[in-house]
Amino acid sequence: MNATGPGPAAPATAAGPAAVTADEMMTACAARALTDGMTCFVGIGLPSAAANLARATHAPNLVLIYESGTIGAKPGRLPLSIGDGILAETADAVVSVPEIFNYWLQPGRIGVGFLGAAQIDRFGNINTTVIGATYAEPKVRLPGAGGAPEIAASCREVIVVVRQTRRSFVDRVDFVTSVGFGDGAGHRERLGLAGAGPRKVITDLGILEPDGQTCELTLTGLYPGISVEDVRAKTGWDLAVSASLEVLAPPTAAELTALRQLQDNNPGELQANSASE
């Protein structure tokens, strides 16, 4: 959703002489957030690349669930869509879309879900509906919600992948499509939401995570060659920075090899702003 092409190359790393792209850095960071045995609600684009990279490297028992009804899919290449036949062919089971949502997602049986965003605010609320002051007469009407609100509400945790600009990282979203932490600490609990909300926001500059007390997104990790000032310049609020800010490791040679093998049959498939839809 709102996908863009591959990002600019990041600085060359020990992973090899070839430059690492921003998309590859984002994908590696997203993959590392997934643990072996976890159940993961996967979308097409970067989320699918990250989940399949994790399964090909450190998390072989990661259970991939796609919205089309495939459970335990094990594609050898990146699927072109949630309806790609390779997902059904390699799945442990194929069920109906209502079962995916009503039995697996809503009761909290899925560990992590990926989401993208057109806008995201300081409390991790996501807008993929409209840009502008009014819903009826927006400046831009976006693709909409799909299953994203259910994922945001019911997955045990959420990982958001989105390119960072002042247009996408705003103080307050124009429309709350998928709730993050609402207006701050305690909001999800007041709504009775089962999921814990956004755990990481992975951008083309670094990683943001919610503060343990306020739930406000805080910069916790930077990509090599990126400064705090670079991130703040592309954030629409006064961004908090963790006292334990770290520089994130670039993809290893093994991660790059596995990722590029997955992409070989899908040139152009890796899209940084792809959502779970």
Dist. CA 245–CA 106, nearest whole Å:
35
Q: Rounded to 5 degrees, what are φ and ψ at 191?
A: -80, -10
Dist. CA 199–CA 86, nearest whole Å:
30
Report the chain's C-alpha Rg in angstroms. Answer: 18
Dist. CA 159–CA 170, nearest whole Å:
18
Our measurement of the distance from residue 117's CA atom to the centroid of its chain's CA atoms, rounded to an integer in Å, reads 9
Rounded to 10 deg, the angle between the 46-56 and 22-32 helix axes is 60
Strand partners, 16: 13
Indicate which residue of 24, 67, 216, 277 is catalytic. 67
Q: Which two tokens stand for residue 135?
A: 């819903």
Q: Catalytic site residue 67?
A: yes
Residue 71, amino acid: I
Return the closest-CA partner of residue 1 out of 70, 82, 96.
82
Dist. CA 202–CA 5, nearest whole Å:
17
* Residues 20, 113, 265, 273, CA torsion sign: negative
- Looking at the annotation, which residues are catalytic? 67
